[in-house]
């Protein structure tokens, strides 16, 4: 059931992202399909085939794949299509999109109860990402209503949300069964190599990161 719910959430976010790329970044169907293949189809296929299961010796394929996709996310957000996406999408919509992090955290808690992830990956441990989702939903709704919000408030929220994202990503990496693992008293974190949960680092984390980068671009554009 958790896998089904998780896959449903990924599908909803993927539809929203694809619609934004088509409408606001003005990318063609082939380009959008290529992006979804890179972030969803490729990781899913590799995980389902067991090709990402090795964590030693380094480099671990799963972590290497996530690193490459993270660099692609940064490049895409800084590219001309990223500029069009930032200019064509309302700030409130980008901020509100981060609300998907609420169900992600609830599912991580459920996975912890099922013995699949260590406690530090949940809001009972070191994961405070749910705060970004809750505040993003409230702030995004306020912005979408056309209510004035000081630029400094949005900037502070974005910096904090990015810091919380970095915190859980670092915690997640240090929880995997790699040689430099730091949380050995809990079950190892192997979602980056498990289907369908590989889509958490390969896609959902990338959407969260890309959204934060878009907010920075939007706030910078407001200065000019």
**C-alpha 55: how far from its chain's center?**
22
pLDDT of residue 83: 95
Give the chain's radius of gyration (CA, Å). 17
Decide: helix, strand or coil at residue 197.
coil
Helix (H) or strand (E) holding 132: helix 130-144
Instruction: Take residue 182 and report the two structure tokens written for it.
Output: 């730091």
Total Cβ atoms within 10 A of residue 50: 11
pLDDT at 221: 87
Asked if 25 and 88 count as a contact pair (C-beta separation under 8 A), the reply is yes
Q: How is residue 57 annotated by DSSP?
A: S
Handedness of CA 12, 17, 23, 28 (dihedral sign): negative
Query: In sequence order, what DSSP letters do the residues of 89-118 get, joined into one string?
Result: S-HHHHHHHGGGHHHHHHHHHHHHHTTSS-
pLDDT in tens, the chain (224 residues): 899 999 999 999 999 999 999 999 999 999 999 999 999 999 999 999 999 999 999 999 999 999 999 999 999 999 999 999 999 999 999 999 999 999 999 999 999 999 999 999 999 999 999 999 999 999 999 999 998 899 999 999 999 999 999 999 999 999 999 999 999 888 899 999 999 999 999 999 999 999 999 999 999 987 76
- Report in angstroms the alpha-carbon separations of 41 from 3, 12, 36, 196, 198: 16, 15, 7, 11, 11
Average pLDDT, rounded, for the chain:
95
Buried b / exposed e across 149-180, counting CB within 10 Å, b at 16+? eeeeebeebbeebbebbeebbebbbebbebee
Q: Tokens 């192997």 map to which residue? A: 190
């Amino acid at each position: 059931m958790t896998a089904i719910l998780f896959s449903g959430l990924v599908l909803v976010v993927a539809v929203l992202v694809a619609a934004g790329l088509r409408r606001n970044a003005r990318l063609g169907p082939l380009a959008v399909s290529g992006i979804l293949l890179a972030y969803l189809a490729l990781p899913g296929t590799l995980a389902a085939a067991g090709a990402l299961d090795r964590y030693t010796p380094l480099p671990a394929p799963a972590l290497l794949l996530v690193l490459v996709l993270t660099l692609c996310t940064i490049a895409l957000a800084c590219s001309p299509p990223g500029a069009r996406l930032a200019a064509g999408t309302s700030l409130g919509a980008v901020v509100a999109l981060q609300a998907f992090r609420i169900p992600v955290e609830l599912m991580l808690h459920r996975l912890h109860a099922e013995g699949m992830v260590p406690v530090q990956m949940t809001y009972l441990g070191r994961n405070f990402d749910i705060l970004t989702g809750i505040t993003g939903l409230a702030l995004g709704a306020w912005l979408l209503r056309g209510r004035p919000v000081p630029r400094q408030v949005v900037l502070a929220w974005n910096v904090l949300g990015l810091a919380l994202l970095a915190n859980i990503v670092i915690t997640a990496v240090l929880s995997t069964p790699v040689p430099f693992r730091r949380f050995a008293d809990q079950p190892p974190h192997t979602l980056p190599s498990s289907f369908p949960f590989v889509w958490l680092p390969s896609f959902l984390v990338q959407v969260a990161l890309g959204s934060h980068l878009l907010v920075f671009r939007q706030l910078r554009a407001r200065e000019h």
